[in-house]
Structure 1
């Protein structure tokens, strides 16, 4: 009887210690998100003004030529279709990273894709100040198999989002290599954002 009681007490102690450890772990994981983001619009939050400071002109994205749309809204989330690095002159930045383009050129291509996504957001929402937070970015890099700096390329996109939206532009991200992309464009990036009610 004493042995059964002792075993039960041991199991209870292990359970309590595990519960405390799990609670501590969760609060450590969640804390940075709580500290870095507010659910209320910050007083100085003005992405529209930031565009002017950055001297960025948005572009008409036209109507998709295939059977898809630029963006779909579900609740407070806006899912944006992938955009490439089409420049203001209407030409895409094309080529493979590691063969035709270097990291700096890839960075600029990702930034161009970002400008195109901002243009979609403006067209969908009417005002970039309605973007509550950039949630997720998926960056695809047209690269040779030996290329290893995909993240440095997609930084061109991520840096732009933070420059426009501040802390609300920081996001979860994937930067992956592709064997090819449509039209041989250098990058394609898709994004998910949360919008204010």
Structure 2
């Protein structure tokens, strides 16, 4: 069985001097992991401070992976001021690495019965052509050409993840995208099933309610 680390690592560059330990986002990043130290990422602290609770576990896991290995980061947050825990949350995270800057966007939308729809994008610039990035890192991905300068790469094994490459000479704009619908916190206690009414004794009709 693949671990969550193995799953999202499928989108990590094989040789990524331009990313320098940046973490990619792919399907499976919300799979439960071993208990970790209390979250220190800025997005989790900001979301907590404005009253976001329902989708906070998903936000924390995505944010922790997104800023892993960075030198520093900060966040721009938008949320529903009237219903902070029931409305959507949008964020833009600026991330600093020793030799590179990266932007990330994390969105969480509460759904029915405690579920959340989440998306995350990691945006970076590679100092290579998009063709060389695709050749080196995305050989086994399916390519769909949307514009002469814009191609999207997907893997059937990771249907809710994609990598977009946009030519921006002399480099390449790389957008790694992850989406999951109806996510539920696996560590949350399951709802207790409704208790059934006791069966009537044999030969006796059930009482009317």
More strand by share: 2
More helix by share: 1
